[in-house]
């Protein structure tokens, strides 16, 4: 028998990874063995208790029916305990494999720290220079250098929480929605700093740890205070009677749509600020709106458990279709390639829909936590799901889970993850997430490796 590593055809890095994997497997099975021993002791204790209850029942001379009910109840409890323990034990093993895979293909590249309150939304510019935008409850929006993590510009024109940010398809314009009941269009001009080498974050551990507020970015250290400030919009879109929770550009960038807590969505002419259409029909507050990348289509989501598709392709007809498939607030619905829409909900599910057949979803993803603003990598058809429980998971369009972004005491979000955005062409970061821990994070997702693992 050869010594470990001798005459091996494997590269040393691969061999080290394998040894680490086998070590993790061994530790998981040791834990499982210990848990099984403890479970066996608990079963013996339960059996003794059951036997004691049987004696007490006999002494009381209860009827056969009552005896059967009592025994059935105890057996059911025991069976449930066995099932629960089995699922918990096996899920730990499965989770260890998925975690290792996720770490290999999903790496944290950059953290964007400078907001003084939670970040509701994140977006990537569609024109050069490609910058990152964040919308925060601190009443500001920030533009960032993706490579260096430096803030390049701060927008301070709103007097309420900035709830969403979207970039114009062809100009250096940003569209922000706010709790001050308005949406603003503002122009920016930034110069990108020289890129710096990215720190290697791939060595961070994967153990789940509870983090306190002191682990969050320091709110007193405000790097954005040194960047240029944009104080007034080019255009202010007004007419809502409640919080404007989201806004987006229609294809071409000449019109914008807004979604509000006043239960309406509004379509505006951006150049004149004129209200073109008020879209009514939702029974409760709207939560999100999204436009199709190539067609004059809008989808709005609401707390009324539905999302609606609005069709503006024919100027004379503005049709609407209602999608009913969730049991709780629909937090967002977004377009993908072709005729598909993906919706996420507080009911902990994500559903993929075919616009040609609205009766039932073509795929359903069930998760363990409420889902916030989802985003789809259109080219690769990968859905990013930001969760209330601080996790971010990646799925394909058929509902197959691909990965979970690493999260530990040293990397990942420490509070609710609010939004996500893909940047398919960026060489360094191709997925961005933001959370209520006041930071945005840039990730490098090795998509070929991710799809190969699938």
Note whether residue 446 is domain-resident: no
Note whether residue 38 is domain-resident: no
Rounded CA gap, 388 and 413, in Å?
11
pLDDT of residue 99: 45
Note whether residue 306 is domain-resident: yes
Note whether residue 182 is domain-resident: yes
Give how far the C-alpha of residue 126 lies from the chain's centroid of Cα atoms, to the nearest Å.
21
pLDDT of residue 247: 98
pLDDT of residue 218: 54
Note whether residue 34 is domain-resident: no
pLDDT of residue 180: 98
Whether residue 129 has a cis bond before it, omega within 30° of 0: yes
pLDDT of residue 220: 52
pLDDT of residue 70: 43
Torsion sign across C-alpha atoms 310, 185, 419, 432: positive
**For residue 350, which of 377, 383, 390, 308 has the smallest C-alpha distance?**
383
Sheet arrangement for strand 229-230: 119-124, 132-136, 141-144, 151-155, 229-230
Sheet arrangement for strand 382-386: 375-377, 382-386, 392-396, 401-404
Alpha helices in 402-446 (DSSP H): none
Buried b (16+ CB within 10 A) or exposed e, 344-366: bbbbbbbbbbebeeeeebebebe
pLDDT of residue 54: 56
* Cβ(330)–Cβ(302) below 8 Å: yes
Rounded CA gap, 31 and 221, in Å?
43
- The boundaries of the domain holding residue 236 are 115-188+226-374
Note whether residue 363 is domain-resident: yes
Rounded CA gap, 4 and 234, in Å?
68
367: domain CATH number is 2.130.10.10
Note whether residue 179 is domain-resident: yes
pLDDT in tens, 213-228: 444 555 455 666 689 9
Q: Phi first, then psi: what are they for 220, rounded to 5°? A: -80, -25
**Number of structural domains found in the chain:** 1
Q: What is the pLDDT along the chain (454 residues), one digit of tens a residue?
A: 444 445 677 777 777 778 877 877 877 777 777 777 777 777 777 777 776 655 444 434 444 444 344 444 444 555 555 555 544 444 444 444 444 445 568 999 999 999 999 999 999 999 999 999 999 999 999 999 999 999 999 999 999 999 999 999 999 999 999 999 999 999 999 988 776 554 444 433 333 434 444 445 554 556 666 899 999 999 999 999 999 999 999 999 999 999 999 999 999 999 999 999 999 999 999 999 999 999 999 999 999 999 999 999 987 778 899 999 999 999 999 998 778 999 999 999 999 999 888 789 999 999 999 999 999 998 888 999 999 999 999 999 999 999 999 988 788 999 999 999 999 777 778 999 999 999 999 999 988 888 876 6
Note whether residue 215 is domain-resident: no
pLDDT of residue 107: 92
């Amino acid at each position: 028998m050869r010594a470990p590593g001798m005459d091996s055809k494997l590269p040393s890095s691969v061999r080290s990874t394998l040894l680490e994997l086998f070590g993790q497997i061994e530790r998981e099975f040791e834990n499982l063995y210990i848990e099984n021993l403890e479970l066996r002791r608990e079963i013996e204790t339960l059996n003794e208790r059951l036997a004691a209850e049987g004696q007490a029942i006999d002494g009381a001379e209860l009827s056969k029916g009552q005896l059967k009910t009592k025994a059935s109840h105890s057996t059911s409890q025991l069976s449930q305990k066995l099932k629960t323990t089995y699922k918990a034990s096996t899920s730990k093993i499965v989770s260890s494999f998925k975690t290792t895979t996720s770490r290999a293909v999903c790496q944290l590249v950059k953290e964007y720290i400078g907001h003084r309150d939670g970040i509701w939304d994140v977006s990537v510019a569609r024109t050069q220079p490609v910058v990152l935008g964040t919308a925060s409850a601190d009443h500001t929006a920030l533009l960032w250098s993706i490579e260096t993590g430096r803030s390049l510009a701060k927008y301070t024109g709103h007097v309420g929480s900035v709830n969403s940010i979207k970039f114009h398809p062809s100009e250096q314009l940003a569209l922000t929605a706010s709790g001050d009941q308005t949406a603003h269009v503002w122009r920016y001009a930034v110069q990108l700093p020289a890129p710096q080498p990215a720190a290697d974050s791939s060595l961070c551990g994967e153990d789940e740890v509870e983090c306190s507020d002191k682990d969050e970015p320091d709110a007193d250290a405000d790097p954005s205070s040194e960047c240029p400030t944009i104080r007034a919009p080019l255009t202010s879109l007004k007419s809502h009677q409640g919080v404007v929770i989201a806004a987006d550009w229609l294809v071409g960038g000449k019109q914008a749509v807004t979604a509000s807590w006043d239960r309406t969505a509004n379509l505006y002419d951006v150049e004149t600020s004129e209200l073109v259409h008020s879209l009514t029909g939702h029974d409760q507050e709207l939560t999100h709106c999204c436009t199709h990348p190539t067609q004059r289509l809008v989808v709005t989501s609401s707390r009324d458990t539905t999302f609606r598709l609005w069709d503006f392709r024919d100027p004379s007809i503005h049709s609407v279709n209602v999608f009913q498939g969730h049991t709780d607030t629909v937090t967002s619905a977004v377009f993908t390639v072709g005729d598909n829409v993906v919706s996420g909900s507080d009911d902990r599910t994500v559903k993929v829909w075919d616009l040609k057949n609205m009766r039932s979803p073509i795929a359903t993803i069930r998760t363990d936590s409420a889902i916030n603003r989802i985003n789809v990598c259109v080219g690769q058809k990968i859905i990013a799901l930001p969760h209330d429980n601080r996790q971010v998971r990646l799925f394909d369009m058929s509902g197959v889970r691909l990965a979970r972004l690493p999260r530990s005491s040293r990397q990942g979000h420490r509070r609710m993850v609010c939004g996500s955005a893909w940047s398919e062409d960026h060489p360094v970061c191709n997925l961005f997430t933001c959370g209520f821990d006041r930071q945005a994070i840039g990730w490098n997702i090795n998509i070929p490796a991710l799809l190969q693992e699938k």
